Amino acid sequence: MKGNDSNINWDIIEKSGSIILCMDRQGKVTYCNEYGLSFFGYSYDELIGRHVLETIVPLKESSGRILTNLIDKICRRPNDFSINENENRKKDGSLVWVLWSNKPIKNDKGEVIGILCIGNDMTKHRNIEEAIQRGYNSLVEKITEQSRELRERKEDILFEKIDKNLTLIELKESEEKYRNIVECAVEGIFQVTENGRFIMANKSLSKILGYESPDELINNVKDYGREMFVDKDERENFESMLKSSGYVENYETRFFRRDGSKIWVNMNVRAVYDFMGKVMCFEGTIEDTTEKKNKEKMLQESLERLQKVMDDIINALSTTLELKDPYTSGHQKRVTELALAIAKEMNYPDQNMKLLRIASMLHDIGKISMPAEILSKPGRLNKKEFDLLKDHPERGYEILKGIDFNYPVAEIIKQHHERMDGSGYPSGLKGDDILMDARIIGVADVVESMASHRPYRPSLGMDIALEEIEKNKGILYDSDVVEACVKVIREKGFKFDQ
């Protein structure tokens, strides 16, 4: 699974604080990182290849929801379930709640072949919420029952006395349960006044912010907003959101600790109102996400290094072809310039532009396998030589088909000489069977070739090149691509770099 790429820090992925799991369209596990295996209690051989419903997913949640249909829907329509929370089962049978982020895994034809699932344990959050709700429900139920019985006996004086005592006892018990939950929580839990003064904080919060105890934190911090937010603009934005809606969820920012060091935190805060609708205080949670941020940064840097290596390889392959065919030096670069200009005019997404650039830079890579005497022949090619040259799209496909670009780069290269009426090669594809990227490269290739000097003829000029694609618009070349190409050259002044 890891491969041999030394530029990717796989240890970060394997030991990430999140579960990283892949499954195929049938729901069978194809990959799980080290943290995920440890979390669920399975070894690699025990989990890989087995269905999630046989292992980490029960047939239904404790709430009664059947999960068989949910797994089937996620496999068929992963984009509809990009975020979902469900109950999962460890190997020892214990149940946990996990918040899953799901993303489809596609092959080079854009077909969904599996799902990438990234999960985070939400069990503690669930337990806190359920414990508080149970305590509240129990309190209401007992008070209601006692009130009903006393009212039925019409013992008014006794009712008032017992009701008050019962309420105090139950509130005390509920408060004690709540206090235990708060003190055992990993997240920092707090209450502050409108002026930013702490009126309650648990041990975890004082530890996160570098104080010895909650009391020390409460006594030393006079205005947590002004004293702890590193960025003034982020503080003002946070306060504005809290004032307008009464709550803020998953707000990421940086805080100062007591010693002046900076940490990343994730905040969830809401306003608490009295019966008149006036704000009494704000309460919420703070989680230290510094380690997570650092891991994300390291992973991003690793991906950027990998991208640079990929760019260097592409440039090296393009340069290798130019060394073999010096008479058309710069052809692939110029075709890439025009293809990107056309795609931009057609409002291509940024990610597609990056991959179109790769396909354009390598569109003639198959010519590496052609005899040098054919590539540099000063006169026109005979039929046998031209038939041999026509193999280069197929050769290019064979060279690149084993590289996973997460995009059909090899197929685009194979199709860049196909034509809309089916007269192209190597497969004689027609119309919509030809990928749009291949249609763009095909038009850019024709224009650059006609407008540039070749060993067997001088440049025909840009006007002749544009006449060719306009004359055959909708016949040989895609109409939208031709219109975009003509516009960027005639109206926007596009010119090839020399």
Give 58 or 311, the one with higher predicted confidence. Answer: 58
Mean pLDDT of 123-137: 73
Lookup result for tokens 């008050």: 164
Q: Do 436 and 327 belong together in one domain?
A: yes
Q: In what order do the strands lie in the sheet with 279-288?
A: 198-201, 188-192, 279-288, 262-273, 247-256
Q: Do 212 and 264 belong together in one domain?
A: yes
d(CA 491, CA 144): 79
CATH code, domain with 313: 1.10.3210.10
Flag whether pLDDT at 302 surpasses 80. no
CATH code, domain with 55: 3.30.450.20
Residue 8 pLDDT level (bands cut at 50, 70, 90) = very low
Domain end call among 261, 288, 315: 288
275 by DSSP, 3-state: which?
coil
Q: Do 42 and 170 belong together in one domain?
A: no
In a domain, 69, yes or no: yes
Q: Do 386 and 411 belong together in one domain?
A: yes
Domain end call among 248, 263, 288: 288
Sign of the alpha-carbon torsion through 155, 158, 161, 166: negative
- pLDDT tens-place string over residues 306-364: 677 667 667 667 666 666 665 556 788 899 999 999 999 999 988 889 889 989 988 88
d(CA 117, CA 52): 12
- pLDDT tens-place string over residues 68-88: 777 777 777 777 777 888 889
Q: Do 204 and 144 belong together in one domain?
A: no
Give the range of the structural domain holding residue 442, as residue numbers without chain letter: 295-491
In a domain, 497, yes or no: no
Q: Do 116 and 130 belong together in one domain?
A: no
Round the CA-based radius of gyration of the chain to a whole number and report it: 33
Mean pLDDT of 51-66: 81
Would you call 26 exposed, middle or buried from its count of C-beta atoms within 10 A (0-12, 13-18, 19+)? Answer: exposed
List CB contacts of 334: < 8 A, sequence separation 6 or more: 448, 452, 496, 497
Q: Do 207 and 301 belong together in one domain?
A: no
Q: Which of 250-254, 380-384, 424-428, 481-485 has the lowest mean pLDDT?
A: 380-384
In a domain, 156, yes or no: yes
d(CA 259, CA 464): 72
Q: Do 399 and 455 belong together in one domain?
A: yes
In a domain, 74, yes or no: yes
Q: Do 309 and 458 belong together in one domain?
A: yes
β-bridge mates for residue 273, sequence order: 279
| Residue among 192, 148, 147, 142 nearest 171 (CA) | 142
Q: Do 195 and 159 belong together in one domain?
A: no
Flag whether pLDDT at 427 surpasses 80. yes
Give 302 or 103, the one with higher predicted confidence. Answer: 103
In a domain, 468, yes or no: yes
- pLDDT tens-place string over residues 200-255: 888 888 898 999 998 998 899 898 889 889 999 999 999 899 888 888 988 999 99
Helix (H) or strand (E) holding 151: helix 123-152
Q: Do 335 and 436 belong together in one domain?
A: yes
Flag whether pLDDT at 120 surpasses 80. yes
Residue 390 pLDDT level (bands cut at 50, 70, 90) = confident
Q: Do 388 and 444 belong together in one domain?
A: yes
In a domain, 3, yes or no: no
Please, what is the angle between helix 350-361 and helix 436-451, to 10°?
A: 50
Flag whether pLDDT at 176 surpasses 60. no
| Residues 248/255, Cβ–Cβ less than 8 Å | no
Q: What is the pLDDT of residue 313?
A: 67
Helix (H) or strand (E) holding 270: strand 262-273
In a domain, 5, yes or no: no
Question: What percent of the chain stands above pLDDT 70?
Answer: 80
- Give the type of residue at 43: S
Domain end call among 132, 153, 184: 184
In a domain, 403, yes or no: yes
| Residues 43/55, Cβ–Cβ less than 8 Å | no
Q: Which of 129-143, 408-422, 423-437 has the lowest mean pLDDT?
A: 129-143
Structural domain count, the chain: 4
